[in-house]
């Protein structure tokens, strides 16, 4: 009698519930890391270093508090790392349930990481100029101010991709059933507002800050809901029961 055995290369047919939940929670941890590094670097450190109205003040801040400026660069690099790794983990989480959405999340996430990497490059250049103001015959204050303006613009461009990745993220939530459907729809709706906020903020310098912030608010709520759900619940039990790996 011939015995038929399963190929060692064949995928397992039994649901790996714990593996899926663990993947979701690791994804949530990386998402939290992205939020922390991004907020500390862009919202806390940068305003203490960059003065949009005075090149001399920016140069003085960089010179007098080099350690703070270096911390800002380190946090910028932390944002790049967490964004890139998070994009991969989102792909791992959703690749079976919604492969196209998973790939789109990863592509848009990597594009945003590249934009922030450019920002970190400009900030590092500004620090190099403060260490040697005559570098290449450059004017120290004017050059450092230009580098920080370019850094801000890199973030503004990257925000387009950070908004866009919420569309496939929301779609993946809806297709997979890993999280409440309301979260999926909020992420998609938030994406529209976030992209609009990025475009308005980048192309209309005098746009009211309340308008720019208001447009991105739904996306912010959706993202923190996503982080909390991934960390606390991982994925829905009903989804666990249906997904095989």
For residue range 176-228, list pLDDT tens digits in order. Answer: 999 999 999 999 999 999 999 888 887 887 878 788 888 889 999 999 999 99
pLDDT higher than 50, residue 106: yes
Residue pair 38/101 in contact by the 8 Å Cβ criterion: no
Residue 37 in 3-state DSSP? helix
pTM: 0.86
Looking at residue 1, what is its pLDDT?
44
Number of domains observed in the structure of the chain? 1
Question: Is residue 232 a part of any domain in this protein?
Answer: yes
**Would you say residue 84 lies in a domain?**
yes
Residue 9 included in any domain: no
pLDDT at 207: 77
Element spanning 47, H or E: helix 46-49
Q: Which helix (H) or strand (E) holds 134?
A: none
The pLDDT mean for the chain works out to 87
Asked if residue 10 has pLDDT above 60, the reply is no
Summarised one tens digit per residue, pLDDT across range 153-163 is 999 888 899 99
Rounded Cα–Cα distance for residues 53 and 3 (Å): 79
Q: Which two tokens stand for residue 235?
A: 């994925």
How far is the C-alpha of 164 from the C-alpha of 154, rounded, in Å? Answer: 16
Residue with token string 């007098």: 64
pLDDT of 245 over the 50 cut:
no
Asked whether residue 4 is domain-assigned, the answer is no
Percent above pLDDT 70 for the chain: 87
Q: Does residue 33 form part of some domain?
A: yes
Q: State the average pLDDT over residues 85-110.
A: 96
Domain that holds residue 93: 17-240
Q: Phi/psi zone of residue 243: left (φ > 0), alpha (ψ -120 to 50 degrees), beta?
A: beta
Kindly report each contact of residues 113-118 with a partner whose C-beta sits within 8 Å and lies 24 or more positions away, as own/partner: 113/80, 113/83, 113/84, 113/87, 114/158, 115/154, 115/155, 115/157, 115/158, 115/161, 116/76, 116/79, 116/80, 116/83, 116/154, 116/155, 116/158, 117/80, 118/150, 118/151, 118/154
Angstrom distance (rounded) from CA 197 to CA 195: 5
In the chain, % of residues over pLDDT 90: 70
Q: Is residue 127 part of a domain?
A: yes
pLDDT of residue 136: 54
Kindly state whether residue 6 falls inside one of the protein's structural domains: no
Q: 18-22, 55-59, 237-241: which has the highest mean pLDDT?
A: 55-59
For residue 2, is it within any domain?
no
Write out pLDDT tens, residues 14-33: 445 568 999 999 999 999 99
Query: Which pLDDT does position 197 carry in this prediction?
Result: 87
């Amino acid at each position: 009698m011939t015995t038929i055995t399963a190929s060692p290369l064949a995928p397992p047919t039994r649901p790996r519930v714990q593996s899926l939940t663990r993947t979701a929670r690791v994804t949530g941890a990386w998402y939290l890391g992205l939020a922390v590094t991004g907020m500390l670097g862009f919202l806390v450190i940068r305003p203490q270093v960059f003065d949009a109205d005075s090149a001399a003040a920016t140069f003085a801040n960089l010179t007098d508090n080099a350690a703070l400026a270096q911390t800002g660069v380190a946090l910028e690099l932390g944002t790049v790392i967490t964004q890139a790794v998070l994009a991969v983990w989102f792909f791992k989480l959703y690749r079976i349930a919604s492969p196209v959405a998973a790939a789109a999340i990863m592509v848009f996430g990597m594009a945003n990481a590249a934009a922030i990497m450019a920002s970190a490059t400009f900030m590092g250049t500004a620090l190099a100029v403060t260490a040697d103001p005559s570098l290449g015959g450059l004017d120290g204050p004017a050059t450092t101010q230009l580098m920080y303006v370019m850094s801000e613009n890199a973030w503004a461009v990257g925000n387009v991709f950070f908004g866009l990745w919420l569309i496939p993220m929301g779609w993946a939530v809806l297709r997979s059933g890993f999280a409440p459907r309301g979260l999926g729809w909020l992420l998609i709706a938030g994406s529209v507002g976030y992209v609009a906020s990025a475009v308005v903020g980048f192309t209309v310098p005098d746009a009211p800050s309340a308008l720019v912030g208001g447009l991105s608010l739904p996306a912010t709520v959706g993202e923190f809901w996503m982080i909390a759900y991934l960390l606390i619940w991982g994925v829905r039990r009903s989804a666990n029961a249906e997904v095989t790996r």
